[in-house]
Amino acid sequence: MVQFRECPSELENFYLCRQSNFEPVVIDVILEQKPLDWDPVTFSPKPDLVEHSSSKDKNSFFWNSDQEESGCEAKGEKVIERWFVQHESRKGRDCSSGSRRSSSNNLSALYKKLLLLLRSLYVTFRLLPAYKIFRDLNSSGQIRAFKLLPRVSSSDKSFTQKDEAEMQRFWFTPVDTSCGRLCLSVLYRSSISDTSSQSSTPMSPQFIPDYVGSPLTDPLRRFPSLPVSQPIDRLQFLSHHPQHIQNHMLWFLTQALAVRAATYELTSSSSWGISTS
Amino acid sequence: MNCEVCQLKELEVEHFEIREVLRCILHTIVFHRALGLVRPKDVDLELFEITYVQCGDVELEKKIDEKIDHFISWVEKHPNKKSQICLSFYEVKSKQPSWFTNKTERLYWEQWYVNLNVTQHPKHHSSKSHHTKLIVDPGESATEERSCRRAMVEASLREVLFQIIKFVNEKKDHVPPISEGVIYFPYEITIPSSSDSAFGMDMIKRMLHSGHPTMLS
C-alpha cells in the first residue's frame, strides 16, 4: 500500500482547471535538495552544511544559486525529467464519422498501439537516470540530502541554455486517434551529479508512533495500479464513444507518469524518516 | 505479409557477460511483444547498472535461458567469432497439405537480430616500459581499464535498449491484432548451430516462409 500526499490532488485539481483536453500536460520529476538548516536527527541547524553552501566550488550539488538566471526552478531544485503529453486535434474532421464496424476496427488498432506505447514507456522509465536515484532512495537506510518531487502543469517552462545542453530528448512516435494524435516525449538529464556521494545520515532507530497505517493515523488511501500490471477490461475500454477516448488516453498516460513521479517522491520521503507500509 | 527486420547494434562483450546481456535484450523485446496480461518483473543486471523488464513468466524465462545456454556452448566451440541471434515472431497459417509440405506454415512478421562480438579478455602483458609501475601497483591500471571497458559496454547496451524502444514505437502497423486470451505472439529464437552452413539453411528456410529476402541493414 502506498499513501499519496499532494500528487493525486494536484493531478485532480489540474484536470478540473484544464480549459481543454488539448492542452499539453507537463509532468516534471524534480530533484530537491533538502533545506540546509534541517537536521532530521537532531532537528537542529547543521553548521557544516551551511559552511559548505558558501563555497559553490566545493560542492557541485548546490544548484540554482542563481535563481534569477533559471527563472523556473526554486532554489535547491533541479528538473531531471520533463514529460510532455498532448493530444493534438485534427481539425476539420468529424470524430464520430465512419461505420460501426470500421470504428470497432479502429478502436482495436488504437488499443494495440496504446498498449505498445505503454510497454515502451514502462521500459523507458527504468532506463532514465532518475530511476537510479529512486532506487538509491528506496534501498538505502540513510537519510539523504535530497528527495524527488512531482510537479504537474500545462505549461512548458523553458530551461537555461546550460540546463538544455545537459538534457536529451526522446520522442515516442505519436499514436493516431480518430480525432488527432497522442504525442508523448521526455526531456531528461543524461547524467546527474552523483547523489550517492552526498552527505547522508544513518536513520536513527527511533520508534515512530504515527507511522502511515498505524491506528493513530487515517487509513491508507488506495491508489489505482498501473494498467500493465492489472487485467484490462478491453470490452469496457473499447465500448467508450470515440470522442471520449482521448480523455481516457490522456488520463491513462498522465496517471502512469504521475504515479511514477509520486512513487519517487514517497520513496524519498521514506529516507527522510517517514515510515511507510 | 510485411516482415519488419531490426538489426541491433553490435555489442562487444566478454564471455562472462553474454548471459546477462542476452537476457536483457531478449526479455526486453519479448516484453514489448507480450500484449496479453502480464505481471512485469523488474530485473537488475549484476554486471551493469541497468534494470530491464521481464514478463514474469517462469516458462518463458526457462526457454530463453535454454537458448542462451546453447548459444554459450556454441561460442565456446567458436571463440573470437562474431555471432548473431535471431528472435522471430510469426503467425501460424494453415494451408493445403501436400506430399512435401506441412499443413501449417509460419508467416514471419518480425525479426530481431542481436549481434554480438564475443572477445577474449586480453591478458595483461607486462611491457618493459611499465615494468616498474606494475611492481608498485600491478592491479590499478588493469582495474581502471576494466571499469572503463565495463562503462562502454553498459553505454552500448543502453543504446541497444533504446534502439528496441524506438523500433517498437516507429513500427506498429505490422503487429498482428491482439487475440483474446493470448499473452505472447508465437516466437522462435535461432542461434548459430554447430556448423555455420546449418545456420545459413535456417535463414533460407525463414526467407522461403516469409516470402521475400531478409533485409539486412
Give the mean model confidence (pLDDT) for residues A200-206: 54
- On whether any CB of chain B is under 8 Å from the CB of A72, the answer is no
Q: Which of A56-70, A136-150, B2-16 shows the lowest mean pLDDT across its residues? A: A56-70
Distance of CA A261 to the CA centre of its chain: 3
Grid cell locating B32: 514489448
Among B40, B43, B51, which residue's Cα sits nearest to residue B183?
A: B40
Q: How far apart, in Å, are the Cα atoms of A126 and each of A102, B31, B116, B140, B192? A: 37, 14, 23, 32, 31
B93 in helix, strand or coil? strand
Among B51, B171, B38, which residue's Cα sits nearest to residue B112?
A: B171
The helix (H) or strand (E) run that includes residue B107 is strand B104-119
pLDDT of A256 higher than 50: yes
pLDDT of B184 higher than 60: yes
Q: For the purposes of burial, counting CB atoms within 10 Å of the CB of A38, is it exposed (0-12), middle (13-18) or buried (19 or more)?
A: middle
Give the mean model confidence (pLDDT) for residues A7-26: 63
What is the model's pLDDT at position B207? 60
**Euclidean distance between the first and the last CA atom of chain A, given in angstroms as a whole number:** 6
B5 compared with A59, residue with greater pLDDT? B5
Question: How far is the C-alpha of A97 from the C-alpha of A142, rounded, in Å?
Answer: 58
Give the pTM.
0.71
- On whether any CB of chain B is under 8 Å from the CB of A194, the answer is no
Give the mean model confidence (pLDDT) for residues A141-164: 79
HEC profile for A59-93?
A: CCCCCCCCHHHHCCCCCCEEEEEEEEEEEEECCCC
The helix (H) or strand (E) run that includes residue A53 is helix A47-53
The helix (H) or strand (E) run that includes residue A142 is strand A142-143
- On whether any CB of chain A is under 8 Å from the CB of B32, the answer is yes
What is the model's pLDDT at position A158? 79
Question: How far is the C-alpha of B55 from the C-alpha of B58, rounded, in Å?
Answer: 9
What is the model's pLDDT at position A207? 59
Q: How far apart, in Å, are the Cα atoms of B184 and each of B4, B29, B34, B85? A: 18, 11, 4, 19
Residues 6+ positions from B10 with CB-CB distance below 8 Å: B82, B115, B116, B117
Q: What is the mean pLDDT of chain A?
A: 66
Q: Give the range with max mean pLDDT: A37-41, A200-204, B6-10, B193-197.
A: B6-10
Q: Which of A34-38, A88-92, A198-202 shows the lowest mean pLDDT across its residues? A: A198-202
Check CB contact under 8 Å for B165 and A108: no
Q: May I ask the CATH class of domain A76-89+103-192?
A: alpha beta
What is the model's pLDDT at position A206? 56
Amino acid, res. A174: P
Q: Which of A122-136, A224-238, B15-29, B111-125 shows the lowest mean pLDDT across its residues? A: A224-238
Question: How far is the C-alpha of A205 from the C-alpha of A143, rounded, in Å?
Answer: 12
Question: How far is the C-alpha of B50 from the C-alpha of A116, rounded, in Å?
Answer: 21
Confidence class of residue A154 from pLDDT cuts 50, 70 and 90? Answer: confident
Give the mean model confidence (pLDDT) for residues A75-83: 86
Percent of chain A with pLDDT over 90: 18
Confidence class of residue A85 from pLDDT cuts 50, 70 and 90? Answer: very high
Give the mean model confidence (pLDDT) for residues A101-129: 89
- On whether any CB of chain A is under 8 Å from the CB of B50, the answer is yes
Grid cell locating B115: 549481434
Amino acid, res. B41: K
Best residue in B25, B43, B167, B169 to probe A by mutation, most A CBs within 10 Å?
Answer: B169
Question: How far is the C-alpha of B62 from the C-alpha of A60, rounded, in Å?
Answer: 46
Among A147, A133, A130, which residue's Cα sits nearest to residue A77?
A: A147
Cβ pair B202, B211 in contact under 8 A: no
What is the model's pLDDT at position A113? 94
What is the model's pLDDT at position A174? 94
Grid cell locating B216: 539486412
Phi/psi at A221 (5° precision): -90, 140
Annotate B46-62 with b (16+ C-beta within 10 A) or e (fewer). Answer: ebbebbbbbbebeebbe
- On whether any CB of chain A is under 8 Å from the CB of B170, the answer is yes
Annotate A54-68 with b (16+ C-beta within 10 A) or e (fewer). Answer: eeeeeeebbbbeeee
- Predicted interface score ipTM higher than 0.85: no
What is the model's pLDDT at position A67? 42
The structural domains of chain B, ordered by start, are: 2-95+102-119+138-197 (3.30.900.10)
Question: How far is the C-alpha of B17 from the C-alpha of B72, rounded, in Å?
Answer: 10
What is the model's pLDDT at position A252? 62
Chain A residue nearest residue B53, CA to CA: A123
pLDDT tens for each residue of B104-145:
788 999 999 999 999 876 554 444 444 444 455 557 788 888
What is the model's pLDDT at position A277? 38
User: Partners of B54 in the beta sheet?
Assistant: B41
Confidence class of residue B181 from pLDDT cuts 50, 70 and 90? Answer: confident
Best residue in B172, B175, B179, B182 to probe A by mutation, most A CBs within 10 Å?
Answer: B172
Residue whose grid cell is 529512486: A134
State how far residue B151 is from chain A, nearest Cα, in angstroms.
13
Distance of CA A226 to the CA centre of its chain: 13
CA dihedral (A43, A49, A51, A53) positive or negative: negative
Distance of CA A149 to the CA centre of its chain: 7
Confidence class of residue B26 from pLDDT cuts 50, 70 and 90? Answer: very high
